[in-house]
Chains A and B, each alone.
Chain A
């Protein structure tokens, strides 16, 4: 099987957020970069498909120079080759523009199955890969938490609201958008990391349509309730908190 995985490199804002001067986005030179969390599960799922059914895993991303790091990581985990779609404006593209770029990669690879994360942690549209499926006129499934492939069909468990699961069947080729938790991603072995250095990363450029959705600025969310931060050493904050919960809020005894 020809398996194509799309991954996205995102800024890691766990520790701190640094904005660009124009406030349009975070300053990507000032925060560490990582592979989007859902896409880490997508890489693992692609490798498992290959291990079970044979074939080849191509990993692709859209990004600037640093995106190569994400591709090397995926190659170290076991992907066979990589495609780097060069786009320095990747982080402010809307989902339609990204999907159009991805479509051109798909046409080059002609995969039997496309795997990616269901949502990115940066812009978080959750729509890009589904638009891709529509452009390609093939089925898709969003929030996939279980996948089995048999006789050219994919049997899928999809997460729904309130703890429900949708079980379904779709024909291949298809776009599988995985949810975090579908598997337990492996770590790269030392051998994998060494081999990754020799695996090919092909750089390509594609035609990108104009954005329809433009980001003007980002800012801290408005708070509805004013949080009262309790300050001091652990003993002091513990005492203050418990007394407030007892006497002011009256929610504990």
Chain B
């Protein structure tokens, strides 16, 4: 089989687009899905139906996957010269998949949000320059390719018949070097603040300039009955506590109003707040990617605009 998709069982419900993409790119030929870890039964059914009868799903039961095991478990199955391998673009795959690329002598493209084909070439779009621009990349199809797919590239569609399922045992891993001894996986910080329930969130980014300006933000939050969230650099600077971080390594929120102050819109932050209903962004840089997902944008200096907003709110409340 030429096309393969690889998923982790515990993440499978959120990463079904990998199955859909493998199905579409295999164009009616047989394709394979490797599951690292067995998902819940209902999720497994969804995978089998999304793959449909052209698919073959191979499932390993266990849960913990240090890089050495990931590589060994996949290469063992894919020995039959795959052309295209799809994985979800997330932290757990990004940690190990470049090793797989080196091992299988594949080209690798990460964080791809659009794929098309042009005769002998595969064309992929992905963000570059921290999301300020999109890059179009070309790969000769004679190369094997691994692509990590950003969430939502294709809507998973279930077929009328389901794929064949084969369970694999993991006894072969006994002789494999895991390359990393994982001792524990724990929560980074006690989450005292649950931002996921907030109706209005004011997100603070590095563009706030200095910590003293947070006083204005706090005043605005009080008037609007809003919670304050932060992008990663603000937390790294110690301006706000870690439990207020929104984004890929923090909380995911979807309030009815999100006000982004001095947030450039790096992809790591955007994944945590793009589900917000109305997004308002204030930034000094008109090209900031945050404006691409905003309903209203204001280009200007926060130290002038925030006081004006506070004044107007006080005058008219």
Task: Give the top 9 A-B pairs by smallest Cβ distance, nearest first.
Answer: A134-B102, A130-B98, A212-B107, A238-B308, A127-B98, A234-B308, A181-B236, A251-B257, A134-B99
Contact of A249 among B101, B139, B295 (CB under 8 A): B295
A163 nearest in chain B by CB position: B188
CB distance A169 to B257 under 8 Å?
A: no
Selecting from A9-17, A43-51, A189-197, the interface stretch reads A9-17
Q: Say yes or no for B232: interface residue by CB 8 A criterion.
A: yes
CB distance B110 to A217 under 8 Å?
A: no
Interchain nearest-CB distance for B83 vs A (Å): 14
Q: Say yes or no for A228: interface residue by CB 8 A criterion.
A: yes
Residues 299-317 of chain B, each 1 if its beta carbon lies under 8 Å from chain A, else 0: 1100011011101110011
12 A-B pairs with C-beta separation under 8 A: A14-B285, A130-B96, A140-B179, A162-B252, A165-B185, A165-B187, A167-B185, A170-B179, A212-B107, A215-B135, A218-B128, A251-B257
Q: Residues of A contacting B278 with CB < 8 Å?
A: 245, 249, 251
Binding site for B on A (CB under 8 A): 11, 13-17, 26, 94-96, 99, 121-128, 130-131, 133-135, 139-143, 156, 158-170, 180-181, 212-225, 227-230, 234-235, 237-239, 241-242, 244-245, 249, 251-253
Q: Residues of B contacting A131 with CB < 8 Å?
A: 98-99, 101-102, 108
CB distance A135 to B102 under 8 Å?
A: yes
Q: Residues of A contacting B179 with CB < 8 Å?
A: 139-140, 170
In the complex with contacts A14-B285, A214-B137, A161-B248 CB distance below 8 A? yes
Q: Residues of B contacting A235 with CB < 8 Å?
A: 308, 311-312
A216 nearest in chain B by CB position: B136
Q: Say yes or no for B250: interface residue by CB 8 A criterion.
A: yes
Selecting from B32-40, B86-94, B162-170, B209-217, the interface stretch reads B86-94
CB distance B296 to A244 under 8 Å?
A: yes
CB distance B108 to A169 under 8 Å?
A: no
13 additional A-B residue pairs with CB within 8 Å, beyond A164-B186, A166-B184: A124-B127, A125-B109, A127-B98, A130-B99, A142-B91, A156-B180, A159-B188, A161-B91, A163-B245, A218-B134, A219-B134, A227-B291, A234-B305
Q: Residues of B contacting A170 with CB < 8 Å?
A: 179-181
CB distance B109 to A169 under 8 Å?
A: no
CB distance B180 to A127 under 8 Å?
A: no
Interchain nearest-CB distance for B256 vs A (Å): 5
Contact of B181 among A128, A140, A168, A180 (CB under 8 A): A168
CB distance A213 to B135 under 8 Å?
A: no
CA distance A11 to B137 in the complex (A): 20
CA distance A141 to B98 in the complex (A): 12
Q: Residues of B contacting A122 with CB < 8 Å?
A: 128-129
- Among A99, A158, A213, A215, the one with the most B-chain Cβ atoms within 10 Å of its Cβ is A213
| Interface bin, chain B | 35 or more
CA distance A13 to B317 in the complex (A): 41
Interface of A is mostly: mixed
CA distance A183 to B158 in the complex (A): 47
CA distance A44 to B111 in the complex (A): 28
Q: Which of B87-137 contact A (CB under 8 A)?
A: 90-92, 94-99, 101-103, 107-111, 123, 127-137
Q: Residues of B contacting A16 with CB < 8 Å?
A: 287
Q: Residues of A contacting B97 with CB < 8 Å?
A: 127
Q: Say yes or no for B298: interface residue by CB 8 A criterion.
A: yes
CA distance A139 to B95 in the complex (A): 11
CB distance A26 to B129 under 8 Å?
A: yes
CA distance A159 to B252 in the complex (A): 16
CB distance A167 to B292 under 8 Å?
A: no
Q: Residues of A contacting B316 with CB < 8 Å?
A: 242
CA distance A215 to B123 in the complex (A): 10
Q: Residues of B contacting A125 with CB < 8 Å?
A: 108-110
CA distance A36 to B299 in the complex (A): 26
CA distance A75 to B299 in the complex (A): 39
Q: Residues of B contacting A127 with CB < 8 Å?
A: 94, 97-98, 101, 108, 110
Q: Residues of A contacting B29 with CB < 8 Å?
A: none
Interchain nearest-CB distance for A45 vs B (Å): 14
CB distance B280 to A241 under 8 Å?
A: yes
